[in-house]
């Protein structure tokens, strides 16, 4: 397991698009750090995203980090579980719902079971342990699911993957002369 903190990854905002990839076989992107970010995300088989809720969604930096690997398909056919927290009672549930929608478009597999941490300023004791035992239970369930899906999807990917749907749609349209 490797912990990745987006504060250590000063990714350019809003910079990646089809034209910034460069050579598709060895993409350069708009900046070397984006290339390193893509490599880092691509080498993992499963992800546990920890996110606060900002205006009923995920923070812009997290969205930008996902958008930056979208064109490389680094998340495709891999499971993503989530831990959310917020200052209020909702605990980031709306951020997790948004995250699921976003990563579907990136070809990832968002999982049902999450960890929701409301009133985050009172949710951990001085040793950094959760004060609500439900958090530990929810985390164990989410991690068990993540491990199961990781094994299943790693095996499935090694058996072979379909080309991305957008590529197949383009090929079918070209073959039909449209």
Ligand X SMILES: Cc1cc2nc3c(=O)[nH]c(=O)nc-3n(C[C@H](O)[C@H](O)[C@H](O)COP(=O)(O)O)c2cc1C
Binding site for ligand X (CB under 6 A): 52-56, 86-88, 90, 120
Residue with tokens 């478009």: 105
Least distance from C-beta 117 to ligand X, angstroms?
Answer: 9
Residue 118, token pair as written in the block: 């409301």
Dmax over CA atoms of the chain, in Å, equals 66
Tell me whether residue 22 or residue 87 sits nearer to ligand X (CB atom). Answer: 87
Q: C-alpha distances in angstroms, 156 versus 46, 76, 106, 139?
A: 13, 12, 18, 25
- Beta-strand pair 115-117/47-52: unpaired
Q: How far is CA 24 from CA 19, 38, 72, 122, 133, in A?
A: 10, 13, 8, 47, 47
Q: Among 76, 52, 60, 72, which residue's Cα sits nearest to residue 13?
A: 60
Nearer Cβ to ligand X (54/107): 54
Rounded to the nearest whole angstrom, what is the least distance from the CB of residue 105 to ligand X in the complex?
22
Which CB, 27 or 59, lies closer to ligand X? 59
- Tokens 């990136």 belong to 106
Question: For ligand X, which is the closer residue by CB, 2 or 5?
Answer: 5
Nearer to ligand X, 88 or 164 (CB): 88
Based on CB atoms, which residue is closest to ligand X, 6 or 141?
6
Do residues 76 and 164 touch, judged by C-beta distance below 8 A? yes
Cβ(58)–Cβ(92) under 8 Å?
A: no
> CA 50, CA 42: separation in Å to the nearest integer?
18
């Amino acid at each position: 397991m490797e912990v990745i903190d987006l504060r250590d990854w000063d990714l350019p905002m809003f910079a990646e698009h089809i034209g910034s990839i460069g050579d598709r076989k060895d993409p350069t992107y708009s900046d070397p750090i984006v290339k390193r970010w893509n490599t880092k995300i691509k080498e993992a088989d499963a992800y546990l995203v920890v996110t606060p809720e900002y205006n009923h969604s995920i923070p812009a930096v997290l969205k930008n980090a996902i958008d930056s690997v979208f064109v490389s398909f680094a998340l495709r056919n891999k499971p993503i579980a989530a831990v959310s927290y917020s200052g209020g009672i909702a605990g980031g549930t709306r951020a997790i719902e948004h995250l699921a929608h976003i990563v579907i478009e990136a070809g990832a597999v968002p999982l049902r079971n999450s960890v929701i941490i409301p009133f985050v300023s009172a949710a951990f004791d001085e040793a950094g342990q959760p004060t609500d035992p439900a958090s530990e239970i929810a985390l164990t369930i989410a991690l068990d699911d993540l491990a199961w899906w990781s094994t299943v999807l790693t095996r499935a990917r090694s058996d072979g993957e379909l080309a991305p749907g957008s590529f197949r749609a383009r090929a079918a349209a070209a073959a039909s002369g449209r």
